[in-house]
Each structure stands twice: as structure tokens, then as C-alpha cells.
Structure 1
Amino acid sequence: MSERIFLDSAGSSLPPEPVLDEVIGHLRREAQIGGYRAAQERAEDLEKGYDVVAELLGCRPDEVAFTDSATRSWLTAFDAVPLKAGDRILVTEVEYAGNAVPLLRRADETGAVIEVVPSDHSGQVDLEALGQLLDERVKLVSIVHVPTNSGLINPAKQIADKAHEVGALVLLDACQSAGQLDLRDTGADMLSFTGRKWLRGPRGTGALMVRNEVRERLHPRLVDMHSAAWVAPNEIELRDDARVFELWESSVADRLGLIAAVRYALDRGLGRIEAEIAERATRLRDGLSAIDGVEVRDIGVRKSGLVTFTVDGLGASEVKRRLYDAGVTVSTSDFNSTLFDMTKRGIDEVVRASPHYFVTEDQIDEAVDEVSRSVR
């Protein structure tokens, strides 16, 4: 474990030993016998990975696809949603730049319209306003479960239930919630996540869930010989499960590491993890709130393990540098990452501290003391 006080699991967390063992061990095996043979040896474990992720998400194994990132998962799902001129896409005020860019680009290409669902006084999606916006022209509702720039947890299930009343598809960005929240009852039709954050998996890993009942409504465009078969000179046949969204080439070592990370989380217990992270985040928020010159910037009724704050007279990058020099690792989030929300709240940047369950109470208190020293 790191000798530093590590408060950046919302960026890229610290993998536990079983994950390291899987990744490094498989790379060594590839060096001994070659990548193809090494993968063949682990074929059964790779196949079981679909069951492991299905348990995490509360879905069927044939509704799971592995990818190389949350971005790839989200883009693959979004790109498969049929859109035409006049179709409407609803997004939240905390939409992430990594989603907003392809949303805006595809809207420009197809003539679809993007509309922002207002938030209520707490900062979460206003369910009444959502209900007023929904009609049969809404083809997709894009939900950011936990944004990159605050501790908000959006009410995914309630949003999804309302969207389904008009037949809209629901795509849930669970990049910041997988590994810290229970995702088994989100109501989403499609769900994307990464391995490197709260799940404590390797970088370059992710997964996508696509419910069987909506898969036929989708048209995956990026397909290869893994996601489809060449059955005649002028004919291909797409897979009939979520693996139609996968590509043939991948890092077997990293995928084994992701599977190990998900299994590690399941063994610890999703409810236990959620409670432990919430407890640490609350302690950190309370400590920061007591410092003159520090403002906690988190919004929402229910809050996650992301704790965001600003310091009077100091930019977020300077706070990050000072804390790093003092042995505390945090990150920052700027205006361009969540433009709708940051514009509305008049914030240019925030410091982002994200304590996982392996961070002790004493370490949190020490981090608070270091922030206080930075202010002084």
C-alpha cells in the first residue's frame, strides 16, 4: 500500500495484491509461452469473468461485454443508438465532457436535439422537470450517476423508470459509481464503467452492460470477426449477445486483473464498501467544512465518496501541489469537464479528494490538517 495519504480513487485507485498477481503473472506467462497459448490456458477463467461482472451489475452474463475503458464502453453503446433529425436526447446538468463531445458531434451529424434536464434545489435531477420533458420523441436519456466534479449521486432508478414510460433508452455512466455503490438495481438499459477507479482494477479496462430486451433496438457499427461472423461472401452474422459490442483484440492480463478486482470487491461486500467509503467521505467533508477559507462544493441529497472543495485565494492546482508536497495525493476537476454544472454554479475548478476504504481515519484527519496549513 502507498506510504502517502492516497485520496484519488476517483482518478485511478491502488490495485490490491490479487489484481497485481493476475496482471503481472499473466504477462510473465505470455513471455514464457506466447500470448495465444497463455490466453488459451486461462480460457475458463476469462469466460467466468462474465458471471463475475454480471453479479456486480445484477444482470445476466450474456448481457456483459468487456472493453478497454469506460469511454470505449459508453461510446460503443451510444454509437449503436439509432438517431434521426428531430429525435431528442436528454442529459443531466452534470454531463461529463467525455460524453458531451460525442453527443454534440452526433447531434450535429443526425439532426437530433440535445436538451438538459434541470436539477432541483439540491443539485440532483429534478424528477418533476424530467417528467415534463419526456415524450415519444425522446430516444435516449443519458445519466451521469456520480459526476466527476462533486459528491452528488443522481437517483438513477427513478430517472430510468420515468424514461421508460415513454419508451426511451437509458444509458448510465457508472464510471464513478462502480466499485463504491451497489449497481444491481439502477434500471438502466445500458451501463458503462471502468476498472481503474473505485474497483481498484488495472488501467485500460472497462465493461458494458446491455440488457437483452433492448439489444435488438441497437445497431452496433464497430464490429469485427469477434462480434460478427463472415458466413458468406457477401454476408455477416452478428452475435446475439452483448459480446457483439466487443472487439477481438484485448489485453488478457488486464482483463484478468479486472475480473480479479471485481471478485475482490464482491468478496468484501458491496454494502460494506459503500458504507465504509461514505463514512470516510463524511469525516473528510466535516473536517474541511470546519476550516475558515475552505468551501466544500458537493451537491445532492445523497453523496458519494468524491469530496470537492475550493480554498480562498488558492487555485485548485496550487492546493494539489502543496498537498502532494505534504504527502497527500488529490486531483482536480476544471470547468471544461462539466461545463453545464460549473457554469451554473460559477466555479472554475475544484480540488477533488476521494478516500477509499483503505484510507484510515487518522489519515483523513492528517489530510484535513494539511489543507488547514495550506490555507494559513
Structure 2
Amino acid sequence: MGFFTAAGGRNRPDPRPRRRLGGPGALAARAAAPRRPCSLGPHAGGGEAPLTFEEARAQFPVFERFAYLNAGTNGPLARATVEAIVEWNRRDLEQGRGGKPYFENVLALRERAREALAGVLEVPPQNVALVSSTTNACNVVLAGLDLTSEDEVVTTDIEHFGLLGPLLASPAKVRVAQVRDASPREAPCLVCGQVTSRTKLIAISHVSWVTGNSLGPDELRRQTELPILLDGAQSAGACRTEAAAFDFYTVSGQKWLCGPDSTGALYVRDPERLRVALPTYMSQSAYDTENSFTPKPGAPRFDSVWYAPGTLAGLLAALEAAPEWRHERTREVASYCRRRLDEAGYEIVTAPDQAGLITFSSGGEAAEAAARLFEAGVIVRDVPGTKWLRASCGWWTSEDDIERLLGGL
């Protein structure tokens, strides 16, 4: 069963039939035909006409120049996102950053951002902390678990240093499951094979930044009752997360959510069971200068960053720009990308029916190929230490972007 079939097909509101993608001939024949309009959740009310794919894509000026296939690093910025940042920065410049109304507005923006990020994860806002990155979120969790040298944590050989770094910095022994060459179906068993009586945490990616494959967290959850920390950097915004099934889930705001840099979230299922080991001013509801502090209720006690109001406004604008059909479209265009690369004879690393990343071998030096593609107006990235390239296919990606990739290769 494919990743999206297993994780994304359940409880989908307002299911729609999926348009089949054809080959190059179908692309040419379809060019003049209007695309079925899909309503954007935040923009669909108030009697406004729903946006078409072309109108939604037109929010991003970068597409006028590039086939931008690198949301796995940084997502494209929409006009509304940058305009919201600029508007608040201009307000700060002209009116200052003080006074009770100012801070009340900023705090209200923070809660709106928390609610919007909770909506992405489909979890209650009180279980979401605001953080600066996935790395920051992983550090919050690893520090709060109070692991010792007698404990073990299980991870895999295809994790980003944003997760691996906090694991290695902890006193616990790190056990590594070798999953890079395994199928998504095999990964959960390989991870569970590293579990011992000393294991206190399983910490893996939902979707690997290296291979683009899901590590099967749903199946892993069924196989073990151990706490699970999921790095959601390559899943949140690209597919449904099912975050509520796990103990900890991290979000990178600047990737598939197309938000400003240094934004993110951490879902904590049971905040009372995680110690506030890295407190910030936002962590407390009261404190005593000599004894202790009272943590805020819920996951906001783990808030680790004070966002500038422009950043908050930009993040909200980015989240509001995402259409309700984003997961369907991401799946559709990623499948198209994988099929076209396969037809062209490239070795595909990513299994069918994953998320938005497609990793493949270009047949030569990957870094040189990425640089050559950039000069041709196609932005992808190479995967360090491999001969692989990685294309990020988001809801905004067009079939023409994929054809430009193939032409550049």
C-alpha cells in the first residue's frame, strides 16, 4: 500500500475525483483547456469566486523566471507573504515597537499563528509550541526527556543533522537502523529491529530528506508503544501528517509551508510529561526569583522564539495562501515527475506514492548537474555524499516545470 493511500486517504473532507496526468502529447493538448477550479479554504468564503490552479500559482513571482523545485530546502514566497512582512516592518519603523496596544496585537498574532499551524497538523492549538526550526524543536524534546547514558534512542541512517545533532548531543546511546536502501514497507521493521529494553525514544523523519521515502511511522506506531519523535520537515505542508498519533512532531515553516525563515512548530501530545529544560520568557505564567517558575498550560510552555510581528504576519499569509486541494495536487504532480524521469531512463530512488520529494540519479556528478540546471532556470538540489538530485514537487508545481527539468538534464 502506498504512503498516500495509507496516510492521506483517511478522513479526507470533501473528496474530489483526481485528474489523470498524461504524457507530453496530453500536455500539449491540455494547454488551452481551462483547469477545473478548486476553492482555496481561506479564500472560499464571502461569496468570492474560487481560485483556479493558475491563479493560485500566480501568487509566486519566482515562477515567472524559474522552474522552482526546491521547497525541500526553502519554499517559494508568495507576494502576500512578503507584503505582510513589509507592512508590519514599515509600521514598526514609523510607529515604534512599544505600548500596550502594540504588544496586545503581537500576542494576538502569535495565537493566530499557533492556531494556523495546529490546523496544518490537525491537532489542538494548546498542543503546539512555536519554535524557530525543526532543529530547535528536536533540541526541546531531547533536553526535556532527561535521557541518561544508560538509555538508548533509535534513529536511521537517512536523517538530517537537524534531528541527528540533538540525538548525538544527548547522553543516550544512538542506535541506527540501516534503511537507505530499503523500501518504505521494510523501514518500520528495520527500525523496530534496533529497539532494546533500554530504548526510551524512536526519533525518525516522517519523510526522508535523502530518499524522499516515508519511513512508515503509522506502521511503526502500530508495532511499538515507545515514544516517537517525528521530524516533519519534509512532510508538513506536503502531505497529511497524522501528527496526533505520535508523541512529538516537528514542523519547518520555511519549506513546504512557504513561510518566512526561522519559523516552525512542535506538537507535544502530553506536555505534562516533558520537562521544560530550555525555558524562554514565553515559557512561564509566573515565576519566583529564588525558587521556581510556573509553566504555561499546554505546549506553549515550550515556545522558544519571539517572532517579530512581520514574521508572524508573513507566516499567516503563507498559510492562508495554501489551497485546500494542496495534498491532492502535490501527490499528482510528484507522481507525474517520477513517471517522466523514469520514462527518460533515470534511476529513481523514491518509491511510488510518497510525498513531494523525488530523488533520482542524473548519471553524473550531482552538484555539477544542479549548478547546470540552475543556469538553465531550473532549481533543484544535490543530496550531499551521493550522486543523487532531488526535485521538490509542491501544489504549485506545473507539468511544464517538470518538462523544463527534463530539458535541462
TM bucket, shorter chain: 0.7 to 0.9
| Equivalent position of 1:29 in the other structure | 91
70-79 or 183-192, which moves further after superposition? 183-192
Which deviations, in whole Å up to 9, do the C-alpha atoms of 1:92-127 show, x marking residues without a partner? 332222222221221xxx3x2222235484145533
What amino acid sits opposite 1:321 in the alignment? A
Aligned mate of 1:145, from 206, 211, 222: 206
Q: Is this contact kept in 1: 2:185–2:216, CA < 8 A?
A: yes
Aligned mate of 2:188, from 124, 127, 135: 127
| Equivalent position of 1:93 in the other structure | 157
CA distance in 1 between counterparts of 2:86 and 2:339 reads: 40
Q: Is this contact kept in 2: 1:174–1:191, CA < 8 A?
A: yes
Q: Is this contact kept in 2: 1:122–1:301, CA < 8 A?
A: no
CA distance in 2 between counterparts of 1:273 and 1:311 reads: 28
Q: Is this contact kept in 2: 1:278–1:305, CA < 8 A?
A: yes
- The answer on 1:289 being equivalent to 2:342 is yes
SS in 2 for 1:11: coil
TM (norm. structure 1) is: 0.84
Q: May I ask how many residue pairs the two structures share in their alignment?
A: 343
| Equivalent position of 1:275 in the other structure | 328
Aligned mate of 1:324, from 374, 388, 409: 374
- The answer on 1:261 being equivalent to 2:321 is no
Which deviations, in whole Å up to 9, do the C-alpha atoms of 1:296-353 show, x marking residues without a partner? 222x4641211112222x2111101111111111111112xxxxxxxxxxxx242111
CA distance in 1 between counterparts of 2:227 and 2:238 reads: 25
Aligned mate of 2:125, from 61, 68, 78: 61
SS in 2 for 1:334: coil
CA distance in 2 between counterparts of 1:322 and 1:132 reads: 42
Give the direction of change, closer, same or farther, for the CA distance of 1:87–1:260 in structure 2 (3 Å limit): same
CA distance in 2 between counterparts of 1:224 and 1:202 reads: 21
Which deviations, in whole Å up to 9, do the C-alpha atoms of 1:189-225 show, x marking residues without a partner? 11111111111111111111111x3x22222221133
* RMSD across aligned positions (CA): 2.2
SS in 1 for 2:347: strand
Deviation at 1:39, TM superposition (A): 4.3
CA distance in 2 between counterparts of 1:239 and 1:97 reads: 30
- The answer on 1:315 being equivalent to 2:377 is no
| Equivalent position of 2:72 in the other structure | 10
| Equivalent position of 2:290 in the other structure | 233
For residues 217-228 of structure 1, the aligned pairs below 5 Å read 217-228=273-284
Structure 2, gaps ≥5 residues long: 1-60
Q: Is this contact kept in 1: 2:253–2:315, CA < 8 A?
A: yes
SS in 1 for 2:88: helix
Deviation at 1:287, TM superposition (A): 1.8
SS in 2 for 1:142: strand
Give the direction of change, closer, same or farther, for the CA distance of 1:39–1:351 in structure 2 (3 Å limit): farther
Give the direction of change, closer, same or farther, for the CA distance of 1:36–1:65 in structure 2 (3 Å limit): farther
TM (norm. structure 2) is: 0.78
Q: Is this contact kept in 2: 1:220–1:245, CA < 8 A?
A: yes
Deviation at 1:235, TM superposition (A): 2.8
Give the direction of change, closer, same or farther, for the CA distance of 1:162–1:259 in structure 2 (3 Å limit): farther
| Equivalent position of 2:110 in the other structure | 46
SS in 2 for 1:317: helix
Deviation at 1:151, TM superposition (A): 2.0
What amino acid sits opposite 1:362 in the alignment? D
CA distance in 2 between counterparts of 1:285 and 1:83 reads: 41
Q: Is this contact kept in 2: 1:70–1:192, CA < 8 A?
A: yes
SS in 1 for 2:359: strand
SS in 2 for 1:35: coil
| Equivalent position of 1:366 in the other structure | 404
| Equivalent position of 2:44 in the other structure | none
Give the direction of change, closer, same or farther, for the CA distance of 1:161–1:259 in structure 2 (3 Å limit): farther
| Equivalent position of 1:113 in the other structure | 173
| Equivalent position of 1:206 in the other structure | 264
CA distance in 1 between counterparts of 2:169 and 2:111 reads: 36
| Equivalent position of 1:82 in the other structure | 146
Q: Is this contact kept in 2: 1:227–1:244, CA < 8 A?
A: yes
Q: Is this contact kept in 2: 1:69–1:207, CA < 8 A?
A: yes
What amino acid sits opposite 1:162 in the alignment? Q
What amino acid sits opposite 2:160 in the alignment? Y
Which deviations, in whole Å up to 9, do the C-alpha atoms of 1:111-170 show, x marking residues without a partner? x22222354841455334445544553211102011111220222222123332xxx211
- The answer on 1:19 being equivalent to 2:107 is no
| Equivalent position of 2:5 in the other structure | none
CA distance in 1 between counterparts of 2:382 and 2:81 reads: 27
181-190 or 316-325, which moves further after superposition? 181-190
Which deviations, in whole Å up to 9, do the C-alpha atoms of 1:219-277 show, x marking residues without a partner? 22211332123235333222232121113633221122223322333xx11xx212211
Give the direction of change, closer, same or farther, for the CA distance of 1:186–1:286 in structure 2 (3 Å limit): farther
